[in-house]
Amino acid sequence: MKLQKILSKFQKLHSHKIDDLSLERIRLLMSDLGNPQDKINCIQVCGTNGKGSTISFLRSILKEANYKCNVYTSPHVISINERFIYNDEMISDDDLADLLNEVHEINDGKPLTYFEALTAGFFLGCMKYQDNIVLAEFGLFGRGDAVNILKNNLANCITSISYDHIDWLPENDRTIERIIYEKTSSLLNSNIIVAKQSSKKITECIKKNISNNSANKIFHGEDYNFVLKENDFFFYEDQYGSLKIPKPNIKGDFQLENASTAIATLRTLRDLNIKDLHIIKGVKKAYNPARLEEIKEGKLKELVKNNILICDGTHNPGGAEVLNEYLESLNCDVHAIIGMMQTKNHEEYIQYFKNIKSVTTIDIPNTPGSIDGKKLKEKFYAVPNVQYKDNIEQAIKSISLNKNDVVIITGSLYLASEVLKIN
């Protein structure tokens, strides 16, 4: 109750979740708070897809090397506390309420977005654990993101970049080049590690955009690489040598891109003294909720009986493309249940799913800004077997499952959150 009260106060400070991408409000507030963000050692992660997973691999490897981490990601899956990890532990309701109350008192009623308030609270909370490594995700567009207020950092990771959140761009400039500019033009000049991209064009555009940045630059395919091998192993190689690493527990071969980005980052930061064994153990143990997460027990699992049920937060075309590659590798019939937000590119998203047995659209419960499931069905007109059901349970029950069929619920992290809550 105490936590919900302070969160409600922040929601009333600004009439919109985000009205512009200015850093003026957050910088003024951080100054009043004593600029705690200037006193941390941070690895920042930007991009469109793979940010959360890359941070999970970074955190898991660092844990094996006996480093403690503070972690800031968004959105959360079940509880807002998930965004506030200190000393490798999720913050309690009471401690989070106290932290945000302090921010609220210092802000003293000045205009502030909800995300800016949470970001200020996170950085303020880091002061109790200044010796820890901070892992912080850039959301939306990095240039104007509230996390982008650091003067120094250890490294910047650029994960896979594709189309998303384009409704925040001018209608006449919704291009991949503009997205890359927004995400990479203000990176700090420490170390920049660029993950594998979906095309050479995107990689070259990133190179051009950061060409005047004096940072040490590390590119996939030039400075590091990975190759998938049989027997559940992959090989990683960079200037410091090669490693044979067990595949991570996080499903999907595309996760090797995120794992390799994390490895390249930590091996670049030589002062951390990350050993091969730390990497091997850390990659295997990494976990990221609602990313191809198999639900093995619970209320919804009981509805599919012996069939596999997967919960996944993929929500944009780039993510859909790699998700489809994973689903096709399963060599079985896949039934998709999909709910999405209004602002996503629904038609382009669905076109990547080439061989789905059936698609059921649903409403995302308790989620303002989501698209009505009936309207989503209309947008999926090109799908041969599409139906609408008004809730998750009815959607699962409506599917005629055969032995070895897989059910995946996807389209939004907000939907994934509701799935895990119901289950």
Out of 131-145, 272-286, 287-301, 369-383, least confident range: 131-145
The H or E element that residue 329 is part of is helix 317-329
Band (pLDDT 50/70/90 cuts) for residue 236 is very high
| Average pLDDT value for the chain | 92
Using an 8 Å Cβ cutoff, are 186 and 144 in contact? no
User: 26-75: per-residue pLDDT in tens?
Assistant: 999 999 999 999 999 999 999 989 999 999 999 999 999 999 999 999 88
Residue 232 carries which DSSP code?
A: T
Residue 274 has pLDDT above 90, yes or no: yes
Domains of the chain, CATH where assigned: 2-285 (3.40.1190.10), 293-422 (3.90.190.20)
Residue 18 has pLDDT above 50, yes or no: no
Q: Give the helix ranges, DSSP H, for 290-371.
A: 299-304, 317-329, 346-351
User: 148-169: per-residue pLDDT in tens?
Assistant: 999 999 999 999 998 765 566 6
User: 369-406: per-residue pLDDT in tens?
Assistant: 999 999 999 999 988 889 999 999 999 999 999 999 99
Taking the C-alpha atoms of residue 355 and residue 232, their distance in angstroms, rounded to an integer, is 25
Q: Following DSSP, what letter does each residue of 106-126 receive, concatenated? A: HHTT----HHHHHHHHHHHHG
Which residues 6+ apart lie within 8 Å of 231 measured at CB? none
pLDDT value of residue 20:
60
Taking the C-alpha atoms of residue 248 and residue 338, their distance in angstroms, rounded to an integer, is 26
Band (pLDDT 50/70/90 cuts) for residue 140 is low
Band (pLDDT 50/70/90 cuts) for residue 145 is confident
Residue 209 is encoded by which pair of tokens? 């955009």
pLDDT value of residue 158:
97
Using an 8 Å Cβ cutoff, are 79 and 3 in contact? no
Q: pTM (2 decimals)?
A: 0.92
Taking the C-alpha atoms of residue 363 and residue 390, their distance in angstroms, rounded to an integer, is 6
pLDDT value of residue 170:
63
- Chain centroid offset of residue 167 CA: 19
Band (pLDDT 50/70/90 cuts) for residue 230 is confident
